[in-house]
Amino acid sequence: MSHLQGQIAIITGAGQKQGIGRAIAMKLAEQGANTILTDLQSSTELETIAADISKSTNTHSMGFFCDLTKAEEIEKCVEFALKEFGQIDILVNNAGVAGSGTNFLEIDSASWDLSYNVNIKGTVNFCRAILPLMTKQQAGIIVNNSSLCGLGALEAIPASYTATKFAIIGLTKSIALEFASQNIRCNAVCPGVVNTGMRQDALTRIAEQMNISLEEAEKFEDEAIAMKRAAEPEEVADAVAYLASPAASYITGVTLPVAGGLAAGL
Ligand SMILES: NC(=O)c1ccc[n+]([C@@H]2O[C@H](COP(=O)([O-])OP(=O)(O)OC[C@H]3O[C@@H](n4cnc5c(N)ncnc54)[C@H](O)[C@@H]3O)[C@@H](O)[C@H]2O)c1
């Protein structure tokens, strides 16, 4: 399959081997896109991941360290992508932080600020940096990674996470509406539970809170999902690749749950 041959995609938060961002980058590259992977400089394997994607898909994948809380670093990333490739066709705003504290009154101001600055402001700033270019191109695709928590509140999830993921949905719909006539589509995926480092942290929190083992916490969480299992990062990546593909050419402003029937009634 090479639906995306010659396209250039930026994927944020792609610096974890087990993360959703890496899986998205790999999936887009498998369809022919050249990719720019971004992440924080610390705790990241960005260069290794980019090299691995280039090698296994025969595309050009590059890493660019970029802290999404700093608008000037986002602008530098867009400049870098343009210098390297001359165009940017797809932006996947995937990076996110889970936040800390499950009870509302436990969440301190610094934690609210971090969730806001990464999850929503980082996404806003990347869109602000790239939309003038997409408008000039009269073409572009944005896919935002929200969460099922962007559609409804779930137990044991920090309010700072839920609130900022709801905001991503509002942003997605506003951009979709405003830029549709310029051939720019903007959609969101809403994953439920995905087997990544972020899930491991959540399981540790649940285990501590319920005074149970990690295995019991995993079983407890799986039982709440209609399909009785968490997603693999590649299953979320498939949904993103679909929304980025020509097969979704008439789809904009949607929020697609990728959640195995978790909270199926939402
Ligand atoms: N894992 C899940 O169960 C799950 C469920 C629903 C939604 N999501 C969402 O999917 C996305 C990816 O999550 P994941 O599970 O792969 O987690 P992850 O922690 O493996 O990946 C998140 C990435 O974002 C990066 N990041 C954090 N702050 C950043 C900053 N200031 N600047 C740049 N990068 C930054 C991290 O370094 C990390 O590589 C997130 O937006 C998350 O909210 C995850």
One domain for residues 250 and 214: no
Please name the residues in contact with 253: beta carbons below 8 A apart, sequence gap of 6 or more.
172, 173, 176, 177, 180, 186, 187
CB of residue 20 inside a 6 A radius of ligand 1? yes
Whose alpha carbon is nearest atom 34 of ligand 1?
Answer: 39
Can you list the residues of the chain whose pLDDT is less than 70?
A: 1
Contact predicate 97/17, CB 8 Å: no
* 262: in domain: no
36's tokens: 């720019």
Whose alpha carbon is nearest atom 36 of ligand 1?
Answer: 13
Residue 250, exposed/middle/buried by CB under 10 A (0-12, 13-18, 19+)? exposed
Q: Is 161 a catalytic residue?
A: yes
Whose alpha carbon is nearest atom 23 of ligand 1?
Answer: 13
Model pLDDT, residue 206: 87
One domain for residues 71 and 201: no
CB of residue 115 inside a 6 A radius of ligand 1? no
Total structural domains within the chain:
2
CATH number of the domain residue 237 falls in: 3.40.50.720
Phi/psi of residue 141, nearest 5 degrees: -135, 130
CB of residue 11 inside a 6 A radius of ligand 1? no
* 243: in domain: yes
Measured from the Cα of 161, ligand 1's closest atom is: 43
Sign of CA dihedral 55, 193, 238, 62: negative
Q: What is the rounded end-to-end Cα distance, in angstroms, of the chain?
A: 34
Model pLDDT, residue 1: 60
pTM over 0.85: yes
Model pLDDT, residue 101: 83
* 261: in domain: no
SS (H, E, C) 206-219: HHHHHCCCHHHHHH
Please name every residue paired with 191 in a beta bridge, in sequence order, or none if there are none. 258
- Taking only Cα atoms into account, the Rg of the chain, rounded to an integer number of angstroms, comes to 18
* 266: in domain: no
